[in-house]
């Protein structure tokens, strides 16, 4: 009967959802069976919803068939609350609408927005989103609110529960209720009078019990997300407010949160940060108690109504400091071993503890006052070094990044094959010194000598991380005993077993121990009001299995690639980097921080899901078990995992362990290519006949242009889409014309002047694609990019030199992407030699006009100084030109390589030097064109740029600029405007400053 129920369910939802939004295949259900926790639960069905109507109908279908379901946003949850063995309803990439109001003080947000994106949107208003979990760069609003996540600068006063104004939700029966809309409230009063009556009766019954009321107030005076949120029953009179606030911290067990309306906080323009080092942990805790008593007064008081002098104090024990490579801790170790620290034996480093402290103010004078007060307070304690605050933004970012990276960094240091576990508890601040020391001893007594304790000490909230093996019953039992002892310790002090990460499966058996029978009865009744059938996220918060926290443990097998297959490859930089990068993937703890920068996330697989899937595939291969499943997963991974990984490397930019899943994909392609000698021969032929290949490509472009002229756009598009389905590259109207090699007149520039110190010289290497493709369509440009670039350089007085034989040269990027790393490196060496010669042995700078090519060149070349257009213009041309801004509205696209090269801000600055109206579209990262892959997999390019046309249209941009020709083709096809190199805009908006240009 069970399979039949799911078949009926799938048939029902296929009536309104496209098939591509419903996953039942083995690979994607496996991939979605992981989150940031140490559990693995594989869903039967994954459903990607588009809007509230979709969710309502899916929930109704689940109810019809009595099938449990779970909601999920980003899946950075740490306690297994976003997993399901039934139906997983995903609200991610399609749920990104927002309304910032008139001044950003109250905002309306859908659940698919990432927390950091909201802060970016609020920055012009001088506001910030209150909750700031360490995962704010990846966690979505739905998960932040549903878990009542807080964070490093977020005390109880600024969590989601306190800042929520109203919520739109979808209830178990499919009803859509917006508690902030009077019409919706009125309709609900008519349709659900019993629901409201039961909420009011529960409220009154709780308030009538004075002991329970005081317990609730006391428990929520510190961070507490254990169990359902019952604070609203004593905090609000209006039943609609109680309903809305009950969803906060409910972990998706009561209803689906389709949007929230929340207050934001004022952001202070002045802040000072200090990492303060104490000689013992207890001393640091005593300092926190003292800091909590400092209060600000006068006009510079906190805008949030809080009058605390200190905004945050994050504690890091010695293992935390070690995990992130803190230089002060490294010096402390040296001092200890040298006998320079009184009373500390060599090799004993466990006493050093740090507090990352920050104070903020509305004025510079106010900040100075606060820094002095905090410094005076801290200086009275036993310190390893004197207190030193910094106001330097770069240094502040470094300190906070160090704190944010502890969990993934510790996870990356774990022994291969073990899991990384994190729990968070809270004590009342007055209990902190005694309870913290007991906690540290308790963990050590259970044999967790590499565990670290850190967290929001200012709120009495600690996290502890354990690297745990579940390979034996003995290890599982050790973990179980430790968790029971932690529960005893926390309840002894009246603290919280879960302070901000959600109850989940890991703490579900202990909720009753913390709250007692009276509060548990209230929570069960609240659950029954919202979810009478008990179908929403079962097993989370409420679980009848007292050992559920040690079941469904996630395996993290070693990625056992056959590196011996690569023994024939030359030991080049690229090969070494690829292999080391693939091995680094073993450090992945599947936290999901990477997914905010993964362009295929929500389309096929994300970076995290690729690693999780490959772990299973390789483990099946090595075990020899279930060959049918292995063949199925391997076949599905070809497209979902390998072919649609754009290998842009952006995933590594938000991964604390800097894991580049593209390295793993390159390795998979390289190993796969070793068995295809014929393809290798084709690659060799192309490498040896680059000039001929470029000529052939020009011929193809000419033929396509002729076909377009004869057939017209509509017919040509239909024909080419059909050919693309048959496996041929896709032509679109955005394809440019072909172009000739640079004319003799252009090439003659290299001999136009003698080698003179008075004449600045640049070696210009046009990329293969710009040697082949001419002007983009629908543009007023008169010159192809090579000629345009030479024109700009000459305007600034530069002599232009081209490398000899450049028609045969290539950076090697195309071969690297295909899995022919040895050919790629050989072509790179050929090009480097030519550039070295042309640059007078590295004397002259080298300019490349294509950012992906430049990125590879910088990675493998060391004998020449390499620049892209943006860097070269700002470094060498800016002061040699007169600048005139245009009033035309323009859009710019920051390519992946631009971001990875660290020149994204420079690109934006250069665009603003040329135009008074510049759009940098929100949420547009990698365009997924990925060299030539946009021709063969255009569907991914369309997905990546799905929000671009709307933003371009709303802004009124008439043209776009970037620095990668292939990216520009995809951008033009999906935006409705032409994209060109930024060189065109700079050339238009400048004129020579001097008249002695050559």
Query: pLDDT tens, 414-456?
Result: 787 788 888 889 999 889 889 988 998 999 999 998 888 888 9
Q: What is the mean pLDDT of the chain?
A: 89
Question: Is the dihedral angle over the CA atoms 108, 111, 112, 118 positive or is it negative?
Answer: positive
Measured in degrees and rounded to the nearest 5, phi and psi for residue 132 equal -140, 65
Residue 301: predicted pLDDT: 44
Within 129-280, residue ranges assigned H as helices are: 141-146, 160-163, 182-191, 193-208, 210-219, 232-235, 239-247
Q: What tens digit of pLDDT does each residue of 936-975 get?
A: 888 999 999 999 999 999 999 999 999 998 899 899 999 9
Q: Name the DSSP class of 429.
A: G
Region of 298 please: left (phi>0), alpha (psi -120 to 50) or beta.
left
How deeply is 338 buried, as exposed, middle or buried, from its count of CB atoms within 10 A (0-12, 13-18, 19+)? exposed
d(CA 73, CA 500): 17
| pLDDT of 740 above 80 | no
Residue 744: predicted pLDDT: 43
Distances (CA, A) of 137 to 76, 95, 140, 148, 595: 10, 17, 9, 16, 9
Identify each DSSP E strand in 64-194 by its residue range. Answer: 69-72, 87-90, 98-99, 106-109, 127-128, 164-170, 176-178
| pLDDT of 752 above 50 | no
Interhelix angle 821-838/573-584, nearest 10 degrees: 130
| pLDDT of 753 above 50 | no
Residue 420: predicted pLDDT: 81
Q: What residues have CB less than 8 Å from 138, skipping those under 6 apart?
A: 74, 76, 114, 591, 592, 593, 594, 595, 596, 654
Residue 529: predicted pLDDT: 98
Residue 51: predicted pLDDT: 94
Name which of 366, 328, 370 is nearest 349 in CA terms. Answer: 328
Q: Which of 67-76, 399-408, 455-464 has the lowest mean pLDDT?
A: 399-408
Secondary structure of residue 87 in the 3-state scheme: strand
Secondary structure of residue 570 in the 3-state scheme: coil
Confidence of residue 877 (pLDDT cuts 50, 70, 90): very high
One of 1.10.1060, 1.10.10, 1.25.40, 1.20.120 is the CATH number of 563-675, namely 1.10.1060
Name which of 616, 607, 617, 705 is nearest 647 in CA terms. Answer: 607
Measured in degrees and rounded to the nearest 5, phi and psi for residue 947 equal -100, 5
Q: Which of 90-104, 515-529, 716-730 has the lowest mean pLDDT?
A: 716-730
| pLDDT of 229 above 90 | yes
Q: Which of 439-443, 703-707, 884-888, 979-983 has the lowest mean pLDDT?
A: 703-707
| pLDDT of 308 above 80 | no
Q: Are 378 and 285 in contact (CB under 8 A)?
A: no
d(CA 408, CA 867): 34
Question: Residue ranges per domain, the chain?
Answer: 1-263+503-543, 272-501, 563-675, 742-877, 881-992
Average pLDDT over residues 846-871: 95
CA 334, 336, 338: angle at the middle one, nearest 5? 70
d(CA 882, CA 905): 21
Average pLDDT over residues 322-351: 92
CATH of domain 742-877: 3.40.50
Within 379-497, residue ranges assigned H as helices are: 393-404, 406-413, 432-445, 473-492
One of 3.40.50.2000, 3.40.50.620, 3.30.465.10, 3.40.1190.20 is the CATH number of 1-263+503-543, namely 3.30.465.10
| pLDDT of 410 above 90 | no
Can you tell me which residue has the tokens 């929500």? 602
Can you tell me which residue has the tokens 């082949």? 772
| pLDDT of 840 above 80 | yes
| pLDDT of 635 above 90 | yes
Instruction: Tell which wins on pLDDT, 412 or 517.
Output: 517
Residue 685: predicted pLDDT: 75
d(CA 55, CA 33): 20
Domains 742-877 and 881-992 share a fold: yes
| pLDDT of 334 above 60 | yes
Q: Name the DSSP class of 638.
A: I
C-alpha atoms less than 13 angstroms from C-alpha of 91 in its C-beta half-sphere: 32
Tell which CATH architecture fits domain 272-501.
3-Layer(aba) Sandwich (3.40)
d(CA 965, CA 333): 52
Residue 302: predicted pLDDT: 42
Q: Which secondary structure element, helix H or strand E, spans residue 765, and what is its range?
A: strand 761-765
Confidence of residue 619 (pLDDT cuts 50, 70, 90): very high
Secondary structure of residue 800 in the 3-state scheme: strand
Q: What residues have CB less than 8 Å from 291, skipping those under 6 apart?
A: 309, 310, 313, 357, 374, 377, 378, 458
Length reported for the chain: 998
Roughly how many angstroms between the first and final C-alpha of the chain, as a whole number? 83
Question: Is the dihedral angle over the CA atoms 643, 649, 655, 659 positive or is it negative?
Answer: positive
Name which of 482, 625, 641 is nearest 549 in CA terms. Answer: 482
| pLDDT of 465 above 50 | yes
Q: How many CB atoms lie within 10 A of CB 939?
A: 15
Q: What tens digit of pLDDT does each residue of 246-296 get?
A: 999 999 999 999 999 999 999 889 999 999 999 999 999 999 999 988 876
CA 259, 263, 268: angle at the middle one, nearest 5? 135
Confidence of residue 146 (pLDDT cuts 50, 70, 90): very high
Residue 719: predicted pLDDT: 54
Q: Which two tokens stand for residue 423?
A: 């729990």
Average pLDDT over residues 476-505: 95
d(CA 713, CA 86): 47
Q: Which secondary structure element, helix H or strand E, spans residue 606, and what is its range?
A: none
Q: How far is CA 991 from the centre of its chain?
A: 41
Q: Which two tokens stand for residue 118?
A: 């909201």
Bridge-partner residues for 959, per DSSP?
890
Confidence of residue 703 (pLDDT cuts 50, 70, 90): low
The domain defined by 881-992 folds into Rossmann fold (3.40.50)
| pLDDT of 305 above 70 | no
Residue 754: predicted pLDDT: 46
Instruction: Tell which wins on pLDDT, 295 or 59.
Output: 59
For the chain, what percent of residues have pLDDT higher than 70?
91
Residue 152: predicted pLDDT: 82
Name which of 156, 298, 283, 285 is nearest 219 in CA terms. Answer: 156
Q: Which secondary structure element, helix H or strand E, spans residue 899, and what is its range?
A: helix 896-900
| pLDDT of 715 above 70 | no
d(CA 614, CA 630): 11
């Amino acid at each position: 009967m069970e399979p039949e129920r799911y078949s009926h369910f799938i048939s029902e939802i296929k009536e309104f959802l496209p098939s591509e939004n419903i996953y039942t295949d083995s690979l994607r259900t496996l991939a979605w069976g992981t989150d940031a926790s140490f559990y693995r639960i594989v869903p039967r069905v994954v459903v990607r919803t588009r809007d509230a109507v979709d969710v309502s109908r899916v929930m109704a279908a689940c109810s019809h068939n009595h099938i449990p379901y779970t909601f999920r946003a980003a899946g950075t949850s740490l306690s297994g609350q976003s997993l399901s063995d039934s139906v997983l309803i995903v609200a991610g990439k399609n749920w990104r609408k927002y309304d910032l109001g008139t001044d950003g003080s109250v905002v309306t947000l859908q659940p698919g927005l990432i927390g950091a994106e909201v802060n970016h949107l609020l920055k012009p208003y001088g506001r910030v989103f209150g909750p700031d979990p360490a995962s704010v760069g990846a966690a979505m609003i739905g998960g932040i609110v549903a878990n009542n996540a807080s964070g490093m600068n977020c005390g109880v006063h600024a969590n989601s529960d306190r800042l929520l104004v109203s919520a739109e939700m979808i209830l178990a029966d499919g009803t859509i209720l917006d508690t902030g809309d009077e019409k919706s409230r009125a309709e609900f009063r008519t349709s659900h009078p019993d629901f409201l009556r039961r909420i009011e009766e529960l409220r009154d019954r709780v308030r009538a019990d004075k002991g329970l009321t005081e317990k609730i107030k006391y428990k929520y005076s510190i961070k507490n997300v254990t169990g359902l949120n019952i604070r609203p029953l004593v905090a609000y009179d209006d039943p609609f407010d109680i309903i809305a606030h009950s969803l906060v911290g409910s972990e998706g067990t009561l209803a689906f949160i389709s949007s929230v309306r929340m207050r934001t906080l004022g952001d202070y323009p002045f802040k000072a940060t200090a990492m303060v080092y104490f000689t013992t942990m207890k001393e640091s805790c005593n300092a926190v108690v003292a800091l909590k008593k400092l209060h600000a007064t006068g006009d510079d008081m906190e805008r949030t109504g809080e009058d605390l002098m200190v905004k945050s104090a994050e504690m890091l024990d010695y293992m935390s400091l070690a995990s992130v490579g803190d230089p002060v801790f490294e010096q402390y170790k040296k001092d200890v071993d040298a006998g320079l620290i009184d009373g500390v034996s060599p090799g004993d480093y466990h006493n050093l503890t740090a507090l990352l402290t920050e104070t903020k103010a509305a004025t510079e004078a106010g900040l100075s006052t606060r820094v002095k007060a905090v410094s005076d307070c801290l200086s009275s304690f036993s310190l390893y070094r004197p207190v030193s605050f910094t106001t330097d933004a770069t240094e502040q970012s470094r300190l906070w990044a160090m704190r944010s990276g502890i969990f993934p960094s510790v996870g990356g240091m774990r022994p291969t094959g073990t899991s990384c576990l994190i729990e968070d508890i809270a004590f009342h601040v007055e209990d902190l010194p005694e309870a913290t020391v007991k906690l540290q001893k308790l963990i050590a007594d259970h044999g967790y000598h590499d565990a670290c304790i850190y967290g929001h000490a200012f709120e009495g909230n600690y996290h502890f991380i354990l690297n745990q093996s579940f390979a034996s019953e003995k290890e599982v039992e050790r973990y179980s005993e430790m968790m029971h002892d932690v529960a005893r310790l926390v309840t002894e002090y009246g603290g919280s077993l879960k302070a901000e990460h959600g109850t989940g499966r890991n703490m579900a058996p202990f909720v009753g121990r913390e709250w007692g029978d009276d509060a548990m009865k209230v929570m069960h009744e609240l659950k029954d009001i919202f979810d009478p059938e008990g179908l929403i996220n079962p097993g989370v918060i409420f679980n009848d299995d007292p050992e559920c926290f040690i079941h469904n443990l996630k395996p993290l097998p070693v990625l056992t690639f056959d590196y011996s297959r690569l023994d024939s490859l030359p030991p080049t930089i690229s090969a070494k980097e690829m292999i080391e990068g693939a091995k680094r993937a073993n450090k992945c703890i599947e936290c999901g921080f990477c997914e905010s920068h993964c362009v295929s996330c929500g389309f096929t697989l994300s970076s995290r899901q690729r690693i999780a899937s490959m772990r299973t595939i390789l483990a099946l291969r090595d075990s020899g078990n279930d060959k049918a499943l292995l063949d199925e997963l391997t076949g599905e991974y070809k497209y979902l995992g390998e072919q649609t990984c754009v290998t842009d490397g952006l995933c590594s930019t938000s991964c604390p362990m800097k894991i580049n899943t593209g390295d793993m994909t390159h390795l998979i392609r390289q190993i796969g290519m070793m068995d295809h000698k014929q393809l290798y021969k084709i690659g060799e032929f192309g490498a040896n006949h680059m000039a001929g290949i470029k000529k052939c490509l020009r011929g193809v472009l000419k033929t396509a242009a002729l076909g377009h002229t004869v057939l017209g756009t509509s017919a040509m598009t239909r024909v080419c889409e059909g050919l693309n389905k048959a496996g041929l590259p896709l032509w679109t109207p955005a394809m440019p014309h072909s172009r000739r090699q640079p004319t003799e007149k252009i090439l003659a520039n290299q001999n136009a002047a003698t080698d003179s110190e008075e004449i600045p010289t640049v070696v210009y290497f046009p990329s293969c694609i710009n040697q082949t493709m001419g002007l983009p369509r629908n543009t007023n440009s008169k010159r192809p990019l090579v000629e345009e670039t030479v024109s700009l350089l000459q305007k600034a007085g530069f002599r232009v030199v081209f490398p000899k034989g450049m028609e045969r040269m290539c950076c090697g990027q195309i071969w690297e992407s295909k899995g022919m790393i040895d050919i790629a490196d050989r072509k790179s060496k050929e090009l480097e030699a030519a550039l070295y010669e042309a640059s007078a042995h590295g004397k002259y700078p080298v300019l490349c006009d294509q950012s992906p090519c430049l990125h590879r060149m910088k990675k493998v070349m060391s004998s020449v100084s390499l620049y892209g257009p943006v860097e070269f213009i700002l470094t060498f041309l800016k002061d040699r030109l007169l600048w005139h801004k245009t009033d035309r509205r323009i859009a710019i696209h920051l390519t992946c390589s631009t971001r990875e090269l660290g020149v994204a801000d420079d690109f934006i600055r250069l665009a603003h030097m040329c135009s008074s109206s510049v759009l940098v579209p929100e949420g547009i990262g990698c365009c997924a064109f990925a060299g030539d892959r946009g021709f063969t997999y255009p569907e991914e390019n369309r997905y990546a740029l799905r929000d671009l046309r709307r933003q371009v249209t709303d802004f009124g941009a008439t043209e776009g600029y970037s620095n990668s020709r292939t990216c520009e083709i995809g951008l033009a096809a999906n935006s409705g405007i032409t994209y060109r190199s930024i060189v065109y805009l700079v050339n238009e908006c400048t004129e020579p400053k001097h008249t002695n240009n050559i």
